[in-house]
Amino acid sequence: MLARRLNAVLARRGIHYAWVVAALTFLAMLTTAGAMGLPGALILPLNAEYGWSTATISSALALRILLFGLMAPFSAAFILRFGLRAVIVCAVALISGGLLLATVMTSFWHLLVLWGVVVGLGTGLTAMVLGATVANRWFAKSRGLVLGLLTASAATGQLAFLPLATLLVERVGWRAAVFPTVAACVAVAALVALFMADRPEDLGLGAYGEDAPRAGAAAAPAASGPGPVRRALLTLREAAGVPAFWALFATFFICGLSTNGLIQSHFIPFCFDHGLGETDAASVLAMMGIFDFVGTVASGWLSDRVDNRWLLFWYYGLRGLSLLWLPHSTFTLYGLSVFAMFYGLDWIATVPPTVRLAAKSFGREKGPLVFGWVFTGHQLGAAVATSGAGAVRTGLGDYLPAFYAAGAMCLVGALVALAAGGRRHRDGVAIAASPAA
């Protein structure tokens, strides 16, 4: 196994293999998230070629986002049962197949199945839960920082591929825009297949920051216990009795509504309605991705040191204010660059504190499973915003009401976040939480 050979080489140089796993996870989440964000850049060309309305196309994208979220808790269970390598490779096969087959589609139901169902299921397998699992499993030290890096890769990946995609759309056609993303996904899958390790114990290691493997952790629960689906449902039943779960679920619903569902899916056509070209609008999104990377890594660092509830309060509050201001910007590259810096720093900074609050209440192993259900709320909100904003644009001829509604919901989310303290998990028993997260 190449992972063992590489581990031996790195060990002689004092490098823990956890950093290799984190790097592979970073690349996997970056590229698969790029595939998730790509269809948002293709609404206008699909409208031009097939005559489908914005609301019609948005319904397929909403289905993709919904399945992306619904797969999250089952993704965590699949990772527990089958391992990181198998789940990531399977995800890339679904994503690549769905994107490529759509280049020869002739009917709307093809789009619904390929980009709605197939890509939705594939990207759902490598959702934020993957990063949460790797951070919890491989890192005892610097976990918040690593989680911030992995989270940033997912958010940045959704935006980083868009400038090239829109450039190819304008010069070659929308089908050509699909191939760079697919090629990147396949390359990452090859690296994962060769070098990914499931757990530190598989290489005779402890997590980064631990001196030795944890007692009783050497064997993965691959052949015993409930199946992945039943495990996920049992975890939901347990989590449903904890009020902190519903606070996190509600705030993440608002998070998805105000990011993936609105900005990722509709920002380009929204700017186009106000006179900004598609490539320029995609460049603004890419700028958000750069600032998002900085903001999310910083959020991971802060989540190790600051009460996570108050972090969420400020993140949602400031995001709401930025969305309420956006319709009053000049819709020039300069005016939108200011928005991109402010909003980008906050794009998905909510994930590290949310993951840590879930782990605090439910423990190291169950934390990612619970976060999977919380992430389902995120994507439910995103699906509502994707379909709702498309319907508003088709019915009223303007996106403005959708942006105002999202900004107001973020202000509500800031208040709800303060109720997400929950109970602290210790040695398998949930007890009263201390004030700090």
Q: For the whole model, what pTM was predicted?
A: 0.71
Give the pLDDT confidence of 81-104 residue by residue, as tens digits: 889 999 999 999 999 999 999 888
What was the pLDDT predicted at 434? 33
Phi, psi angles (nearest 5°) of residue 214: -70, 140
* pLDDT band of 255, cuts 50, 70, 90: very high
Query: Which of 213-217, 297-301, 335-339, 426-430 comes out lowest in average pLDDT?
Result: 426-430
What was the pLDDT predicted at 378? 87
What was the pLDDT predicted at 423? 53
Region 338-344: mean pLDDT is 84
Higher pLDDT among residues 218 and 69, named by residue: 69
In order of start, what are the domains of the chain with their CATH numbers?
A: 2-203+227-431 (1.20.1250.20)
What was the pLDDT predicted at 424? 53
Give the pLDDT confidence of 184-215 residue by residue, as tens digits: 999 999 999 999 999 898 888 888 887 666 55
Structure tokens at 209: 């920051």
Region 302-310: mean pLDDT is 87
Round the average pLDDT of the chain to a whole number and report it: 83
Region 338-357: mean pLDDT is 84
Region 36-55: mean pLDDT is 83
What was the pLDDT predicted at 437? 32
* pLDDT band of 158, cuts 50, 70, 90: low
